[in-house]
Every structure is written in C-alpha cells, then in structure tokens.
Structure 1
C-alpha cells in the first residue's frame, strides 16, 4: 500500500469556558503608557514597542514582518479576539507557494521553488512519500495527555482572509522574555504571500481557559526561504509579543464592564524552553501540541482542547517530501498527532518537575507511513545554523 504524507493544519473550533467570558463589545483597552517591568495583579495593561523593525529586504537570511508593532495596533488586535471569535477559530489549510512564471521546481540546499499550489485538507488529500523513505521502527512513541503540561505550551490564533484559525506554539527563552516559537505556516500565509493577521498567543490554554494571558504578536521573524520560496525545510517562525493581558470585571455604577489587566511578560508568567540547534537526530524527544483533526479514515481521536504529548526517538536519517520542498526533515515515527499540533514544540531533556527542556524543532508535517486509516508519524524542520540566526535576531528585540 502506498505510503502517504499529509500536512498538519490548524485545528477544530475551540470551546470557550465561562472563565474566558470576560469580554463585551463595550470593553476597551486603556490608553498607551509605559508599563512597569513587574505589574501588580490589578495593574491595567499598557504596552509600547521599544524596538520596531520595519519590513524590507531580508538581512543575513532573516525576513522580518511587523504584525502589531505599535500600541494602537496591539489594542486593535486585542479587542478583536472576543470569546466568540476564539470559539469559532478552526483548522488552517495552508497551500504551497506558487512558482513565478517560467520557474522550475528545482531545489538546492539553500533555495527552493514550488511548482504549482497544493491545496485541500491534509487528512483527505494525501501526498505520496518518495521511495526509500523509512517506515517506523522500534517501540512506538506514547501519544497521550501531557501528565504535567508545560505551561509555556499554548495556542496561536490568527486571521487569514475573513476566517479565524489556530495552531500550537510555545514560549522560548530570550533576553527580553517575550518570544514565541511556532511553525512558519502558522504565521505566514503562503497562498496569499503575506503574514497572517491579528496573531495572538495564549499559553497554558485548555478547554477555552485563557487565564495565563493573551499575548499579541509584535514582529514576525522567519528564514527568508520560507516566505520567499515556500521551503518547508524552513517551516519555523519566531514572534516577539507585547506584554500579556487578561480581562477583569469592574462596576461602573450599576453597569458591569471589563478592562484589560496586565499579565506581565510572557516568560515571567509561564517560563520558556531553551533554544538549541544542530543536535544529532536519532535521540529521544517529547513533542507537545493540540491535535484535533481527523485521520484519513475520518476518526477524530483528539479534540484540541488540552495539550497532548508524544514521546519517542527520532529516526536516524533525514526525510524528504518534494511536494513541500522538504529535504532535511526530522521524523518522529509512531506519533498519532492529527491536525492542530502544527507549530507545537519538540523538546529534548524535558524535566516535567522543573518544566524545563531544550527546543529543537516544531511540528510541521504529519505522516501516514503505512497507508492505513490512521496517521502514524510527525516531522519537524531540522533546527540548524540558519534557524539559530533567525532566533538570535528575534531574541534581540525588546517589547514592553
């Protein structure tokens, strides 16, 4: 039976709990001002970027795109995400990047061009895996609820066109405690050839609860070949975020209103994984995410409401998928994640008690190796020196 490959998409609609309902059409964010470095629980959320890179030609192979760089932008995006919109968000179906006219589908290690768009749901439109691709071997990883869910893992929500979507993501350490790692296709819409809109990160998300805060994306950093060429060897993104906020109820006379209350800096609130690159493959990893989509046979083993984990050993060889311009992917066989886990972290040395570990990848693709009705592997782009260059540039940006 032919082996198959499917692309991880966003996920199914989230269910918003009563705890997340602190929002009304009359709710407003306070006027801009400099926020204290450590805000008390009652402090009103305020933020302003102290370093705002402009979009332009790539520098040192890193493409930079403003998402919501100003205080006014941040307030607009924050006000957009009502509980109803969070609930309505659904799986994202990215396409490959169409080639310019007259271009071929040739690829070198540093450049990639995709011949024609590939659209459709990953679990219903499969793609053939090239001959010689390894099948799962050894003990299959455990795919189960994360017993001690890392608080720095969460969901990103964003808008493409007129619809809202979501993916998985995690906080990664930076000097300014304000950095998120996710998949490139969860921040840049290849089909529209531009960044997504209204991008936010909600760490520790579960069953609609957003108590750990909502963090609005400030600036997107990517390796130039993802946005420029649609190269899934570079399907990763690092996003700096403003200080987070939660909604707090208060009375204005007899009327109950809601205001944004500071949740502080991301890493101060939930911690962060350490970034790591150029690690050998064929080693144990823990993958986390919010799978939710259907298997090829239509079954849905996950609902996307809580963090799930896969623990296993990556294959001792790089894998490829020409449709997605993938040549140096790292695959974790035996993991049954479905759509929704895209962008979730791959961690080595994870310590559940201390909630620490090293980020070495983000989920990009999901695989159907045996051609049956269930997905049975996931893959991530290999974090190498090019990835480190993107990370280091993103980690230098201060937001407040």
Structure 2
C-alpha cells in the first residue's frame, strides 16, 4: 500500500499555536481506508447487518498479554518539545446534574475491523474535535496491523453497548499516524487519527417495483415467494420475474429396507386386506381396520372401497382397510415469483454534530490528573477476568512524573497511569481537565500498552505515547481531511 509522507510545512497549525524545536521536524503517514461512499457503506453495513451480529461476534484486539512488558529506564523530566497547546472540546449535551460518580462521555465507543486473519476485532476510541467534526482518535495498533497495512472494514461506533449502535456507524475514510509507527512499528507513535464519513443507521426495508429496484443505489435484494402453477403461468404471461425449480417425479416402489424409504398407507377392499399378511413389506396389512363416523350425506356420497354401515345406536359409519406401501419419495416442481426489496438507511450526520468531540492537548507537563476510558475485556495474565468489554470503564489518577521505556516495543518515552484496565481498553482516551458535568476534556494520550510492574500477574499500569508537537502536527493534518455523506434523504446510497 502506498503511503504519503508530508512535511511540517503543509500543516495548518500556526507557529504561535504549535512551536517545535528545529531538530524535531515531524513526519507522518496517511493511508486510505474507504474513501468511496460505496465502499464505506459496505463496511458499515457489514457490521450492522442481522441486527449487529458481526458487532457481537468481535473480540478485543491485543498483543500476547501473557508476556506483559515491563516499564524501564525512567527519564528525569518530560520531553522538551516546545510550548504546550490545547484545542477546546465541542459538546452536544447540556451540563448534567452534579453527581459523585463519573459521567461517561458520549464521545467514547468502539472501533471495529477485520484483521489480516479475517477475525472480527475491536478497540476503544473517542470522537475528537476537528475542523470538519469527523475525527476519531485511537491507538495506532488499532488501525495499522503491526505498523503495516491498515485493517479492513474499519468503523467507529460511538456509545456502543451490547451489540447496539445508538448513534449509527461511522466508516473510516483516511487514517493518519506517526511515520515511525507506520514504518518501524515503533510504539512511541502508537496513536492514530481517523477521519470518518457521516454515520448512518439501518431503518428497515421496503418492497418496490422492478424499475425502482434497478435504480436503487443502496442495499437491495430479491425475496422469493412460492406460488402455484396457475400463478406461475400468469406471471409468465405478464412478463414478470418468476422461475421454477426441481421436477415432477412420481414416487418409486421400494422395499422397506431401502435407505430413506417412506411408509404410506393404501386403502383397499376388505377382501384384499383379509388376504394380506401381517408384518413389514409391500402389500402387508397397515394396522387394524378404521371405523369412521360420518354424516348421512357423506355416507350416501361415499364411493370408495370401504364398507358402509351403522353402529349400535344408528350412527352412519364407513370401515376403511389399509395395506402398506413403501416408496422412495417423489419430487414436485416448485414455482417462485420475485419480490424486490430495498434496504433503507438513515443519515446520522457528522460525528461531531451527533456526539461532540473531545479537546486535544500536547506538550503538557507530567503528573496531570486524567480520566482514562475504555472497554476492557481480556483477563489479567493470571486468568482472572473482571471485565466483559460490553460497557465502558474508567480509571482516575495522575500520570507519572517521568516518562518510561519499553524495550520490546521500541518505546523510549511513554507516559504512565496506575490503572487495572486490561486489553480491550486499547485506544481509549486519557482526558485531562475532565469536566464531569459537561462530559468533556482534552485528549492527552490514548491507551497503548498494559503493564504488570509488581510481578503479581495482574495489570497495574497502562501507558500511552507522550503527546508532543509531532502528535499535534499529525492531528492538525488529520483535521483537514474532508469526508462524505454516505446516504441521501431517501436512504439511498450516494455516489
């Protein structure tokens, strides 16, 4: 896959907003996900179809947590990478009543994708403020597979809860990340910003004419209805779309031991029944005679081999006699008529207009109070599994006062937070200055890795790339990405 590397000169942040040392000229990479509306529709529909069956099937994406990496080589201070900066959040909800517990932000959700092996996967993420209100931030390894190609069918589902997408599904259009992650799988750049198209939800189905069906650009299918031979002939005469399957083939007489043989009963005269044997085989008796009570008109009209009579109280009766018939079942031709169905989708609008967007902060001092959110799911290394991944969780605390190294992932400066969330929380935001009433803050990190520092086989720290001026440059480039409306006012797919 071809990658586009863009120098800092193309970035839109002004020098007054973003100040970088001369030696820290950033580079970044951008990759297409599904820039075309038709492909984006297909990706989102893949996850929404069958009432979100694929969403429920997905499992968290993570590296082998049985080999939890250690945080080592603490630094004496935060990286010197220029002046700190911030962009303000945007919200869509009124300030909530003050509560003691944490109000979950409306912006968080899950990203879903297919990995290289074709497995259904997910990570955590959040909507973040941008020029076009269409940006998601998550961990880089939740967009790029081992620093290489982007994942397939990548979508963001804000407010995800137990297989539901309350505010629609937003298909990724373009991904932006650090050059070092894209090229070297370097987790100092384990973050990604993804510009997403307008979201949509499925709003049912509708039967239409053949001409409407042909003109429909969205999802559509033919639903067959079984009809009889007369309806089939009428359909053909009217040039409708109808077809037949199978053939009329009578049943063949076989022995009772023939594989798949079916037993049928044949009504015969009393004399034939009396001459038949008792047992199992062609022409053998089929049970005892059956005495049927009937009305006088039915008794008069009966012309079969049974014997008409009356019982002791004067009721009219017909006594039936049956023998066995073993057959290989025949087949009959079936007839079908096409019914044309279109799937109706509903445009949900731009992501930031629907759920808002968190702010963004870079080059911040260490030791910040943050709220980290995510959907933890995996068990701890010791096998204990306290989380389900169905609902979001959070950790509160101050980040470490120093950055750390993680040698196995080429990490030289990760910020850390004491937290027991497990994989599945990957990509979840670290929100600085979180306003519990407005449910907004400033993204100053995303969960990248999980650590067991005290050696008890339980996660006790999570870490994130330090958000410096280079991250801000990638964010700024991503915020310029324009995306598209996927479905029109009638629910049709737009080209």
Q: Same fold (TM over 0.5)?
A: yes
2:30 to 64, 68, 72: 64
SS at match of 1:87: helix
RMSD: 2.1
Q: Work out whether residues 55 and 64 of structure 1, in 8 Å CA contact, stay in contact via their aligned partners in 2.
A: no
Higher helix share: 2
Counterpart of 1:271 in structure 2 is 356
**Normalising by the residue count of structure 1, what TM-score does the alignment of the two structures yield?**
0.73
Would the alpha carbon gap of residues 278 and 201 (structure 1) be closer, same or farther in structure 2, given more than 3 Å must change? same
Q: Work out whether residues 53 and 163 of structure 2, in 8 Å CA contact, stay in contact via their aligned partners in 1.
A: no
Offset, 1:276: 1.1
User: Is 2:250 the partner of 1:303?
Assistant: no
2:69 to 119, 127, 137: 127
User: What does residue range 158-307 of structure 1 map to in structure 2 within 5 Å?
Assistant: 158-161=113-116, 162-190=118-146, 193-252=148-207, 258-307=343-392
Q: Deviations over 1:92-140 (max 9, x none)?
A: 245xxxxxxxxxxxxxxxxxxxxxxxxxx21x22334436699xxxxxx
Counterpart of 1:323 in structure 2 is 408
Would the alpha carbon gap of residues 147 and 396 (structure 1) be closer, same or farther in structure 2, given more than 3 Å must change? same
User: Is 2:322 the partner of 1:353?
Assistant: no
Offset, 1:377: 0.9
Q: Count how many residue pairs are aligned between Structure 1 and Structure 2.
A: 308
User: Is 2:298 the partner of 1:332?
Assistant: no
User: Is 2:109 the partner of 1:154?
Assistant: yes
Q: Work out whether residues 282 and 313 of structure 1, in 8 Å CA contact, stay in contact via their aligned partners in 2.
A: yes
**Normalising by the residue count of structure 2, what TM-score does the alignment of the two structures yield?**
0.60
User: Is 2:357 the partner of 1:391?
Assistant: no
SS at match of 1:169: strand
Q: Deviations over 1:1-44 (max 9, x none)?
A: xxxxxxxxxxxxxxxxxxxxxxxxxxxxxxxxxxxxxxxxxxxx
Stretches of structure 2 that go unaligned for 5 or more consecutive residues are 8-26, 77-99, 209-338, 485-495
Counterpart CA distance in 2 for 1:389 and 1:176 is 17
Q: Work out whether residues 63 and 222 of structure 1, in 8 Å CA contact, stay in contact via their aligned partners in 2.
A: yes
Counterpart of 1:92 in structure 2 is 61
Offset, 1:257: 6.4
Counterpart CA distance in 1 for 2:3 and 2:206 is 46
Q: Work out whether residues 204 and 345 of structure 2, in 8 Å CA contact, stay in contact via their aligned partners in 1.
A: no
Q: Deviations over 1:44-89 (max 9, x none)?
A: xxxxxxxxxx953411211010000011221221222232211111
Stretches of structure 1 that go unaligned for 5 or more consecutive residues are 1-53, 95-120, 135-144
Offset, 1:387: 0.2
Counterpart CA distance in 2 for 1:362 and 1:131 is 21
Q: Which moved more, 1:69-78 or 1:161-170?
A: 69-78
Counterpart CA distance in 2 for 1:344 and 1:320 is 21
